[in-house]
């Protein structure tokens, strides 16, 4: 594989030397593209000797070969390690003021960035926004580790070990980067486009509080990864998922769209659904949201008791999708998290929900008392739109995901 190793100017640039060795030992051709500041930490001769290729940060060298365009176009994988706050900002805004940023604009292969910086810089809203922008565009941004930084201070911002960066980067390349129809591995969902929602929505009460739920999003993420492995182009609409869950999905070649509220989730799912063969609503969506959300934190007035919270109903995203059918022939799959109560068993509630929602398939699972939410395993009964049992599955969330895709592929027209 032809790998470009971007190095920006932080103390962790010395670890890029070890990463370069690892990638070379794994049999890859690696060209190092440092920034000018990176060359103040590690000299060009070190990178040249270990890569066997010329090293420059300049766009005005070797102009006859147009390197600022040609390098990116010819790469199978771009890894930037360390990626400083400044490099993330320049990449997110599309700057092209040196060889590395120009290359990032022309590369169409998977791009993996391993940030390293002080905790304050990593946590700054500007950096968070730049990371979110890059991830939305399909860049894999690896979470920095927590630990000892340059000085005596510790916290998140440390560059992961070179072995870990190499593993994440090669995994991203193996999954062929951002998901587009037809580019997935061969499988029974090849050429299909899939949207999966996962996680739990959060409805703000004020700028610091929200109404949320216990969904971890792992079943939805497993569905997205399984669909990708079976050849589909997959978008995961991720409602408040852990960074690690999102990172694993991205590494598997899934496009992850982070959302917070039901309104954001609805917009993202519907945007993807207009192109999708299958939409799976695995997210736990809040049925209600606070009617008014003040700009300032609600203060407790001693002796006055709690201020009443007025809720309004959210749209039912699944029922709308089932009704609207944003693409002809589209299959709509819902989930039903049930506990069972005096009005009926888990399955009876599931049957009623299948009829009420109008989805083609409904995966019913029992939640509560250590089952479903956050647990590593799951058990579902898949019903059709009339409430008849199609299949039952139990096991790891990935096994359950595959059983659901088996049911989908049997139902999907043209498969
Ligand atoms: N769902 C949705 N929009 C909502 C509520 C739920 O799209 N506002 C979807 C979920 O993603 C899931 C299915 O509907 O696929 C069932 O969700 P669940 O919470 O079990 O059902 P509810 O409709 O909320 O019904 P109830 O609370 O009465 O069980």
Task: Annotate the chain with three-state secondary structure.
Answer: CEEEEEECCCCCHHHHHHHHHHHHHCCCEEEEEECCCHHHHCCHHHHHHHHCCCCCCCCCCCHHHCHHHHHHHCCCEEEEEEECHHHHHHHHCCCCCCHHHHHHHHCCCCEEEEECCCHHHHHCHHHHHHHHHHHHCCCEECCCEEEECCCCCEEEEECCCHHHHHHHHHHHHHCCCCCCCCCCCCCCCCCCEEEEEEEECCEECCCCCEECCCCCCHHHHHHHHHHHHCCCEEEEEEECCCHHHHHHHHHCCCEEEEECCHHHHHHHHHHHHCCCCEEEECCECCCEEECCCCCCCCCCCCCCCCCCCCEEECCCHHHHHHHHCCCCCCEEEEEEEECCECCECHHHHHHHHHHHHCCCEEEEEECECCECCCCCEEEEEEEECCCCEEEEEEEEHHHHHHHHHHHHHHHCCCC
Tokens at 194, concatenated = 């899939």
CATH 3.40.50.1950 segments of the chain? 2-175
What lines the ligand 1 site, CB under 6 Å?
281, 283-285, 287, 314, 316-318, 334-337
Question: Is there a cis peptide before residue 362, judged by omega within 30 degrees of 0?
Answer: no
Q: Residue 237: what are its φ and ψ, rounded to 5°?
A: -85, 110
- CATH code of the domain made up of 2-175: 3.40.50.1950
| Positive or negative: CA dihedral 324, 326, 327, 331 | negative
Pocket test for ligand 1, best of 197, 285, 356 (most atoms within 8 A of CB): 285
pTM over cut 0.85: no
Closest among 95, 94, 101 to 38, alpha carbons compared:
101
Q: How far is the CA of 227 from the centre of ligand 1 (A)?
A: 22
- Give the pLDDT score at 1: 80
How far apart (Å, rounded) are the C-alpha atoms in residues 8 and 81? 7
Q: Residues 241, 225: contact at Cβ < 8 Å?
A: no
Give nearest CA residue, ligand 1 atom 17.
336
Residue 119: how many other CB atoms lie within 10 Å: 16
Q: Residues 354, 301: contact at Cβ < 8 Å?
A: no
Q: How far is the CA of 284 from the centre of ligand 1 (A)?
A: 7
Q: What tens-digit pLDDT sequence spans the chain (415 residues)?
A: 899 999 999 999 999 999 999 999 888 899 999 999 999 999 999 999 999 999 999 887 777 677 778 888 888 899 999 999 999 999 999 999 999 999 999 998 899 999 999 999 999 999 999 999 999 888 888 989 887 777 777 788 999 999 989 888 887 776 544 455 555 556 899 989 999 999 999 999 999 999 999 899 999 999 999 999 999 999 999 999 998 888 888 878 888 888 999 999 999 999 889 889 999 999 999 999 999 999 999 999 999 988 899 999 999 999 999 999 999 999 999 999 898 899 999 999 999 999 999 999 999 998 875 555 666 788 999 999 999 999 999 999 999 999 999 999 998 876 5
> What is the 3-state secondary structure of 390-414?
EEEEEEEHHHHHHHHHHHHHHHCCC
Q: Residues 61, 67: contact at Cβ < 8 Å?
A: yes
Q: How far is the CA of 215 from the centre of ligand 1 (A)?
A: 13
Contacts of 155 (CB under 8 A, 6+ apart): 118, 119, 146, 149
Tokens at 72, concatenated = 């990116």
How far apart (Å, rounded) are the C-alpha atoms in residues 321 and 106? 37
DSSP code of residue 159:
P
Q: How far is the CA of 399 from the centre of ligand 1 (A)?
A: 23
- Give the pLDDT score at 265: 94
How far apart (Å, rounded) are the C-alpha atoms in residues 364 and 392? 9
Tokens at 243, concatenated = 């960074």
Task: Report which ligand 1 atom has the smallest distance to the Cα of 318.
Answer: 7
Task: Report which ligand 1 atom has the smallest distance to the Cα of 287.
Answer: 8
CATH 3.40.50.10300 segments of the chain? 193-411
Give nearest CA residue, ligand 1 atom 20.
336
Q: Residues 178, 143: contact at Cβ < 8 Å?
A: no
- Give the pLDDT score at 130: 96
- DSSP reduced 3-state for 244: helix
How far apart (Å, rounded) are the C-alpha atoms in residues 233 and 175? 11
Q: How far is the CA of 305 from the centre of ligand 1 (A)?
A: 32
**Superfamily (CATH H level) for 193-411:** CoaB-like (3.40.50.10300)
Task: Report which ligand 1 atom has the smallest distance to the Cα of 356.
Answer: 23
Angle, CA 139 vertex, CA 138 and CA 145 arms, to 5°: 135
Instruction: Based on the residue annotation, tell me whether 213 is a catalytic residue of this protein.
Output: yes
Pocket test for ligand 1, best of 261, 273, 281 (most atoms within 8 A of CB): 281
Among residues 213, 240, 365, 378, the one annotated as catalytic is 213
Give nearest CA residue, ligand 1 atom 16.
336
């Amino acid at each position: 594989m032809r790998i470009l190793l971007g190095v920006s100017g932080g103390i962790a640039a010395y670890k890029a030397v070890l990463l370069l060795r690892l990638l070379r030992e794994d049999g890859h051709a690696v060209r190092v593209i440092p920034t000018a500041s990176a060359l103040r930490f590690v000299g060009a001769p070190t990178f040249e000797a270990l890569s066997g290729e010329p090293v420059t940060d300049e766009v005005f060298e070797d102009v006859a070969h147009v390197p600022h365009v040609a390098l990116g176009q010819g790469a199978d994988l771009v890894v930037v390690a360390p990626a400083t706050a400044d490099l993330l900002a320049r990449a997110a805004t599309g700057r092209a003021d040196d060889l590395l940023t120009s290359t990032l604009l022309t590369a169409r292969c998977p791009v993996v960035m391993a940030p390293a910086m002080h905790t304050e810089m990593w946590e700054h809203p500007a950096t968070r926004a730049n990371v979110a922008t890059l991830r939305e565009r399909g860049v894999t941004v690896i979470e920095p580790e927590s630990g000892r930084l340059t000085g005596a201070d510790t916290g998140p911002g440390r560059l992961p070990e070179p072995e870990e960066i190499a593993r994440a980067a090669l995994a991203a390349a193996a999954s062929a980067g951002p998901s587009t129809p037809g580019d997935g591995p061969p499988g029974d969902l090849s050429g299909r486009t899939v949207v999966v929602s996962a996680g739990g929505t959060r409805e703000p009460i004020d700028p610091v509080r929200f109404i949320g739920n216990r969904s971890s999003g792992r079943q939805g993420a497993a569905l997205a990864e399984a669909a990708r492995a079976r050849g589909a182009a997959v978008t995961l609409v991720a409602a408040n998922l852990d960074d690690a869950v999102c990172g694993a999905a991205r590494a598997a070649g899934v496009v992850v769209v982070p959302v917070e509220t039901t309104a954001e989730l609805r917009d993202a799912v519907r945007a993807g659904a207009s192109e999708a063969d299958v939409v799976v609503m695995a997210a736990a969506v809040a049925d209600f949201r606070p009617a008014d959300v003040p700009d300032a934190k609600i203060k407790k007035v001693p002796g006055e008791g709690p201020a009443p919270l007025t809720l309004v109903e959210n749209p039912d995203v699944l029922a709308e999708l089932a009704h609207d059918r944003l693409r002809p022939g589209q299959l709509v799959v819902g989930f039903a998290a049930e506990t069972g109560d005096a009005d009926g068993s888990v399955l009876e509630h599931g049957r009623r929900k299948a009829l009420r929602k109008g989805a083609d398939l409904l995966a019913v699972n029992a939640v509560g008392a250590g089952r479903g939410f956050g647990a590593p395993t799951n058990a579902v009964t898949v019903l059709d739109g009339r409430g008849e049992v199609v299949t039952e599955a139990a096991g790891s969330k990935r096994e359950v995901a595959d059983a659901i895709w088996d049911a989908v592929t049997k139902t999907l027209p043209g498969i």
